[in-house]
Structure 1
């Protein structure tokens, strides 16, 4: 079935005209979408900062363990060299 109307000698199809209410609805929808995007970006920043700090702490702990292991190896080699010297 054809939903066209004849107005003033011109044929108009239903659904082609966007009324004021529909434009307001679209503006509201766009504003909600933009606000939601702003909120997501605001949440993302602290999350990434937290993850970066977490990784930094883990890297620092790894470095500490490497340094402690290096010190143990150094002391062991020093003791071996001292004991073989005499």
Structure 2
């Protein structure tokens, strides 16, 4: 799913850049039809770009949670290993 969002992100970037190019460097934006094309390219480009960073943050947070759980389990097993030999020496 991330791959598709990445492709959509790049397509959206190209659409936005092309819309910006039309707006700044051509006379297309001086006519009503041109205004609609430029606004549509920029707007749709931004909409297509938006989900990818959100998906990356969600993926990152899931990885952080998994790493934190692994770290907690390792810490618990290390403390149990340290506690168990001491208890056997007391007996």
TM-score tier, shorter chain, comes to 0.5 to 0.7
Q: Structure 1 or 2: larger strand share?
A: 1
**Aligned CA distance change for structure 1 residues 31 and 77 (closer, same or farther; 3 Å):** same
Per-residue deviation, residues 2-48 of structure 1 (Å, max 9, x unmatched): xxxxxxxxxxxxxxxxxxxxx77733334322211111211122112
Q: Is 29-38 or 67-76 further displaced after alignment?
A: 29-38
For normalisation by structure 1, the TM-score amounts to 0.61
Structure 2 residue runs without a partner (length 5+): 1-26
**Quick one: distance in 1 between partners of 2:80 and 2:67?**
20
1:74 offset after TM fit, Å? Answer: 1.2
Q: Is 39-48 or 63-72 further displaced after alignment?
A: 39-48
Highest RCO, 1 vs 2 (Cα 8 Å, sep ≥ 6) = 2
Per-residue deviation, residues 43-74 of structure 1 (Å, max 9, x unmatched): 12211211111001101110110011011111
2:30 aligned partner? 26
For normalisation by structure 2, the TM-score amounts to 0.58
Structure 1 residue runs without a partner (length 5+): 1-22
Q: How many residues align?
A: 64
